[in-house]
Every structure is written in structure tokens, then in C-alpha cells.
A and B are shown apart, each in its own frame.
Chain A
Amino acid sequence: MSNPEREQFNPEPTGEQYEKKEKAPKVIDIYGKYEKIFQDIEKKKQEAMEWRNKGNEIEREKKEQEVTKLRNLIHLAKKSRQEEGREQFGYSASEKVIKEKIGEILNLQNKGNKLWEAIPDVFSDASNFDELYKIINDVGGQVHSSGERISPEETIKKIKGCRGEFFHKMDEGLKEEVLRFFTRSGGLKDKVRELIEQEIMKKTVDSAEISETGKGTEGAEETKDVDSTIPEVKQEQKIDERAFAEIQDEQGKREKGIRKIAEENRIKIAKSLNRFLSRWVDPLIFAPKETALLGLEGVKKVAIEGVKDLAVLGVTVGVVVEEPVRQAYGYLQKRGAEKEISQLPEKTQKELEKIEKKLGEIKVKILFKEKASKAESNQYIKQKLEREIEKLRGQETEMEDGKKSLTGPERLEAITNEASKRYLAGLGKIHKKGKMMQLMNKIGGFLGERA
């Protein structure tokens, strides 16, 4: 938009003046910023005036003085702008003045915010969270009675935290504790509570309506999940669910395909399955004394019982996800496993160092050291072995040379189905725990604030 005042004092320069004009964009930038602040001040002034109309008599005079000061400053600022214009290209000379004025105006703007926050029920117009967020942004966050200013981003983040499922399950006392983060001034705290309660009520009603109209469990589940109303959580969930559905589909195809091929290729399967089992099961049988490499069962045991109760000495798995590897290693260190790690062979220690340095590699080794004695470990391996061999014995297939293989296509199908089932269940568990962690992080944030 053109500015007649500025144009009036800015005739087309020539020569030296033209060179000086090169600096003009900076002045214009400052003008741009200046004008925005000016508009903000006008807005605050308007709001202050509105407050004055509503506000209480005791504070009125004081506020009027502030408004007068504000008006005077605006007048000064205008004057300064005119003077700046008259100087035409005297950027350096006026820069200081403009900056000072901007500083003063900004200070006043902060006061203006406080002034606005002092208005009773400034947040009461918000009828939903979006409107509330907008007001918080306009007001510039919140100011506690201690004078501590909290940014709009932080305030909105905390509100989002309160909209989570975990918060809804808290009792009144704890809710109150968490809501202490929000100031009472302007009615923010009450508004947050009110909107949360409305949201819970709406979810309950919606979910009841869905069950009545029989729209299906999936829809009902989604509506009950209050956390999914938070845009980023909803988005994340959508992605997770899509990925999960794709994996499920893939698994379905795999299982179907195996059944057909299995019947047609009985002997071939027995052969390849033998090779396959030699990688996943045989390590249990031929494991060296102290560094037994576990197959599925061992990994499952690690997963279920954790490092503490692990009755075997080592696990080798292909791990693609880098962050969990770092965490696993960090976790071992935290548990005081450094001593145990230092007792490992030098080669193994180097491998562990590699994990720390070069994360995210496919096929990294994670070694868990345990406290069980060698005898206990061997006993455990022996028992595992016996059970595994017992299972395999019932499923022999006659090979081309007349010998019998310990395995057959049924076994392949059974292993695939079992692995597929556990794979999906594992993904489901990670998904649930991930959500749990999100909730914990939110509450942790509140605890941090309190501390």
C-alpha cells in the first residue's frame, strides 16, 4: 500500500543521493515493522478503551493514564516518522531515534498485553479450542501472578497435553494440580477446564450415538480416543494405522501364497526349511559354551523378561531402527552393565563401540550379558533344545534319498503364521506403548514445570 506522507518526502534521488538510497530498503523495513507495531498499538488501545468501558471504577483512572501515555507515544512516533521523512535519506541519523521509539512502543505493547490480561474474562468468548488458541496468540500467552510470562506456544502446548486420554483419567485433585500451570487471570484456567469437560462430554455422547446406531467398533473406538482430536496425534495415528494395514495385507498374501506352494513343493520346502531352521534353531543346539546365539525363542525371552532375567548370554539380531539401538546400549550402561561389558572379549567391546558410533546399520550386534551361571545357562539351553526337537519330530518329510527330514511344509506354514502373528502383535504393542510414552511425556512436562 502506498504511503502519501512518505512519498511526499521521497523525491527521486540522483548522484550521491542515489547511493544513499541504497540504504533505503533498511529504512523501509523498519517502517514496515514500525507500521505493524503501530497497528498493534492501535488495536491494544482500542481494546484498552473497550476494557475501560467495561472495567471497574477503581482501576479506570490508572488505565486512562496509560491510554494517554500510549496516545502520546503514538503521537511522538508519528512525529518521528515525519521527521525521518524530512531528512529524506538520513538513515544513520534517524536510526537511533526510530529504534528508541520502537523500543518504547514494544515496552508499551507489553504493558498493553498485561492490561488486556487484566480484563476480566478475556478468554470467555472462546467456544472451542481453536478460538481459545487464537485469543492466547493475540494476547501473547499468559502472565502468572509472579510476573512470569509464558509464551503462547508453550501455553497452547500445555493445553493440548490436557486434552489427552491420560489427563481425562486423572482424579479431580490431580487435574487441579496440572491445571495450576494456567493462570486464573482473564479466566484462562476456568476456560481450559470448561472446554476439556465439553470435549469429554461430546466424545461420550458421540460414542453412545455410534453404539446405538451400530456404526461398528472401529468408528466407536476412534471417537472414544480423545487424544486423536489433537491434529498432530491424529495425523501420526493415521500414518501408523495405514502402515499397519499395509503390513497386515502383505502378511495375508504371504500366508495364502505359502499354503498353495507348500503342497506343490513338499520336498523342496523340507530342504529350504532345514536350511532356514539351521539359522534360527540350530544355534541353540550348537551354541558355544559362553556365547550362545539365540534364535526366535531367545529373542522372545529377551523381549518378555528383559535383560535382568535373561538366562542366556548373547543375542544377534538384525536391527534396522537406530534410535532403539542407542537406547538399548544406553539402558545397559545405566543399569551398571559397563563392568560386564568391560569383561567381554576385546572384539565384542569394539562391536559395542561401533554401535555407539555408527548407529542405524543394518545387522548390528547387541550383546546382553547376564548374571546366570554357566551351568544354569547350559541347563536352559538344553531344555529349550529338547522342546524344540520334540516339536520337530512329529513333522518329518521323506526326502529324495529316502532319509527323513525333521521338517515339512506344515512346519513352514506354522512357523510363518506364528512369526506373522507375533510380528503384528509386536507392532501393535510398540504402537500402544508409543502412545503411552506420548502421554507420559506430556505429564512429565507438567511435573517438570512443578519442579
Chain B
Amino acid sequence: MSIIDQLYKLIDETEFSERVKDRVKELSIKSKLNQGSGVEESKCLTLEEWKELGQLIKADMVLDTIEVECYKACLAEVDKAIAGLKE
């Protein structure tokens, strides 16, 4: 299994967004085509592509953080409401 295929498998298991999955899939296809043209398997992914993928995953994490912060803020509101009731 190539590095990109393995990465795809791992990403699939870790609830990444469709955007990340799509890009990895795209790179996976590209890598297979390259292999078909005789390019070495280990060179299926360039450093630039790897960095881009890293950026996408980071962006995913940013969005997760926003989601978490939002729920945190929501829970803080609940706490405030509860504190108000106790007064």
C-alpha cells in the first residue's frame, strides 16, 4: 500500500472533513497514474503536496476548535442561566 493510500485509510478513520478526504483521494489517483507511467512509488507525493495536505488538516482542526469554542460558550451561557436561578 502506498504512503498516500495508507494516509487515506488513517484519515478515513479519524473523522476528517470531506474536503480533506477528497484531496487525499485526488492525490491517490494521481499517484496511481504516476506509478502507471513508471514513477517510483515512494515519490508519489511531493513535499509541496504534503504541505498542502498538512494545511488542509490544520484548517480542519481550526474548524473543530471553532465548533468546540462555540459549544463551550453555549455551556457558559447555561451556567450563567443556572447561576441566575440560584440567586
Q: A residues near B, CB below 8 A? A: 166, 169-171, 173-174, 177, 251, 254, 257-258, 261, 265, 268-269, 272-273, 275-276, 279-280, 296, 299-300, 302-308, 315, 317-321, 324-325, 327-328, 331, 334, 366, 412, 415-416, 419-420, 422-423, 426-427, 429-430, 432-434, 436-437, 440-441, 443-444, 447-448, 450-451
Q: Is the CB of A420 within 8 A of B75?
A: yes
Q: With A444-B54, A451-B47 given, is the CB distance from A416 to B66 under 8 Å?
A: no
A-B interface contact total, Cβ < 8 Å: 168
> Taking the nearest CB of chain B, how far is it from the CB of A441, in angstroms?
8
Q: Is the CB of A423 within 8 A of B47?
A: no
Residues of B within 8 Å of A174, CB to CB, are 2-3, 6, 41-42
Expressed in whole angstroms, the Cα–Cα distance for A171 and B2 within the complex equals 8
Expressed in whole angstroms, the Cα–Cα distance for A317 and B72 within the complex equals 11
User: In this complex, what residue of A is CB-closest to B63?
Assistant: A303
Residues of B within 8 Å of A261, CB to CB, are 82, 85-86
Q: Is the CB of B74 within 8 A of A296?
A: yes
Expressed in whole angstroms, the Cα–Cα distance for A427 and B72 within the complex equals 11
Q: With A170-B6, A429-B15 given, is the CB distance from A328 to B75 under 8 Å?
A: no
Q: B residues near A, CB below 8 A? A: 1-3, 6-7, 10-11, 14-19, 41-42, 45-47, 50-51, 53-55, 57-75, 77-79, 81-82, 84-86
Q: Is the CB of A423 within 8 A of B71?
A: yes
Best-buried of B11, B19, B63 by chain A (most CB within 10 Å) = B63
Q: Chain B binding site: helix, strand, loop or mixed by DSSP?
A: helix
User: In this complex, what residue of A is CB-closest to B68?
Assistant: A426
User: In this complex, what residue of B is CB-closest to A169?
Assistant: B6
A-B contact pairs, 9 of them (CB 8 A): A169-B6, A272-B81, A306-B19, A419-B78, A433-B57, A440-B54, A443-B50, A447-B50, A451-B47
Best-buried of B14, B84, B85 by chain A (most CB within 10 Å) = B85
Q: Is the CB of A308 within 8 A of B58?
A: no
Q: Is the CB of B59 within 8 A of A432?
A: no
- Candidates B3, B16, B63, B75; contact of A254 at CB < 8 Å: B75
Expressed in whole angstroms, the Cα–Cα distance for A324 and B59 within the complex equals 8
Q: Is the CB of A254 within 8 A of B78?
A: yes
> Taking the nearest CB of chain A, how far is it from the CB of B56, in angstroms?
8
